Amino acid sequence: MKKSSLLFALIALSRLSFSQVFLDNFGTQNSGNPPDPFINPAAIVASGITNNGWTGGNNFFTGNPGGAYAYQANSAGQSGVTITLSLNVANDLDITSIQFDARSSTQGPDNVTVDVNGINVGSSSVSRSSTLWSNINLAAAINDLSGQVSVNLVYSGANPAVANWTTRIDNFQINGVALPIELISFTGKLQQRVVVLNWRTATETSNDFFSIERSADGRHFTETGRVQGSGTTAEPQDYRFTDDNPLPGLNYYRLRQVDFDGQFSYSKVVSVRVGETSGARLYPSPATEFLTLQMEKPAAENTVWEIFDLAGRLLQSGEFLAENPDFQINVAALPEGLYHLRLSAGQSVSTLRFLKN
C-alpha cells in the first residue's frame, strides 16, 4: 500500500497541570501552516508535502468553522495516508487520551489507527461523508514522554482505483497530566538576620504566582509571602524572596506554584537555621507563669528578647539590661503551646524553645 506522509512540527509546552495538554483547531491563517494556539505560528514547520498533498495548494477547506487540516490524493493508486504530529516536549508528560474529528470523501479512508512513539493507542472508523464528522476519542495511557514525541494517524481503506479522494482532521486534542513549571533549583540561606530564598525555573506554563510557605516543624505550613510568576515562557527565570522575620531556630520553606486557573503544585522543602542556642538555659519547660533565663555569662550590652508562636507571630518582647546573668519573663497570658524565644545582643542572635501549659 502506497502512503504519503505529512509532517508538521508543533513545539509543545512544558508540563501543564490541567487535562488539555494540546489543542489545534486548524484555524485559517495566511502562512498555510497548521496553527499552534500556544506558540507563534512562525515556529511551526511543515515538510514532506508532495504533489499528492494539499487540496488546491492549501491545507484548509473553506466553509468549515475554524478551518480543517485536509489531504487530497490527486492520482489513483493511493489507498492511505499517514499524518504525523511531531511535538517537542520540554518536560515529562503523561498522555491519558487523544481526541479529534475526522471525515473522508465517499471513496476516501474509512479507518484511522493512532500510535504515540510507535505505541498503538487504538483505532476508529472514519465517517465517509461530505458533512458528517466522526468524533474520535482514544484512550492512551502513555507515561513519561519527553523530547521529540511523534503522534501518527495512519488512515487506510481508501479506494486505490479512485483519484482525488480527500480526508480531513479537525480539533485535534491531547489530554494528559503534567506540571506547570520545570524547577531547576530551590535554595535558602541565612544572611545577617534574614533568610534569603532563591529558585530558578527552566520553563513555565500559565504560571500565575508562587506562594512562599513556612513551617516550624516541617509539617504545618503557612503562607509568608508571594512572588509573581512569568506566565508562559520557555526561557529560564530567576526568583528571590527575603523572609525579614524568620522564626528562631529551624525554618522550613516550600513553594506552592499556582496556575491562572487556580490549580497548584508544591516544590521540595528546604530548611534554614536561624540563631544559635548555646550559652543560655531556659526553665521551667513547660512553664505556667514565669520563665527564667540563665546566661552562661553576662552579656556585654543590653539584650532584646522576643517570643514568637509557631506561625512566626511576635507575641511579647522586652529588653534585659547588660551585666545581669539571670532574667525572668512573665508568660502567664500566653495560651498553651510551643514557643520560640529569640535573644539579640548586638550582632549575636540566639534562640530557645519552651512549652507553655
SS3 25: coil
| CATH class held by domain 280-356 | mainly beta
Confidence band of 272 (pLDDT split at 50, 70, 90):
confident
Position with higher pLDDT, 51 vs 77: 77
* Nearest C-alpha neighbor of 73 from the set 105, 43, 95, 97: 105
CB 335 within 8 A of CB 356: yes
Please check whether the two domains, 3-177 and 280-356, share a CATH topology: no
CB 244 within 8 A of CB 273: no
CA dihedral 190, 192, 194, 199 (to 10 degrees): -40
Q: Which pLDDT does position 94 carry in this prediction?
A: 76
CB 12 within 8 A of CB 203: no
| CATH class held by domain 3-177 | mainly beta
Render pLDDT for 274-287 as a digit per residue (tens, 0 to 9): 865 456 778 887 88
User: Whats the size of the chain, residue-wise?
Assistant: 357
C-alpha cell at 168: 480531513
Calculate mean pLDDT across residues 210-237.
89
Q: Which pLDDT does position 89 carry in this prediction?
A: 65
CA distances in angstroms from 228 to 36, 38, 87, 234, 254, listed in the order given: 26, 21, 29, 17, 16
Q: Which pLDDT does position 61 carry in this prediction?
A: 35
Domain ranges of the chain: 3-177, 181-274, 280-356
Q: Which pLDDT does position 17 carry in this prediction?
A: 35
CATH code linked to domain 181-274? 2.60.40.10
Confidence band of 315 (pLDDT split at 50, 70, 90):
very high
56 backbone dihedrals φ, ψ, rounded to 5°? 60, 25
Whether 53 has a pLDDT exceeding 50, the answer reads: no
CB 279 within 8 A of CB 345: no
C-alpha cell at 262: 487556580
Mean pLDDT is lowest, of 169-173, 175-179, 244-248, for 175-179
- For residues 176-205, one letter each, b for 16 or more C-beta atoms within 10 angstroms of the residue's C-beta and e for the rest, the string is bbbbbbbbeebebebeeeebebebebbbbb
SS3 317: strand
Calculate mean pLDDT across residues 162-182.
78
7 backbone dihedrals φ, ψ, rounded to 5°? -120, 120
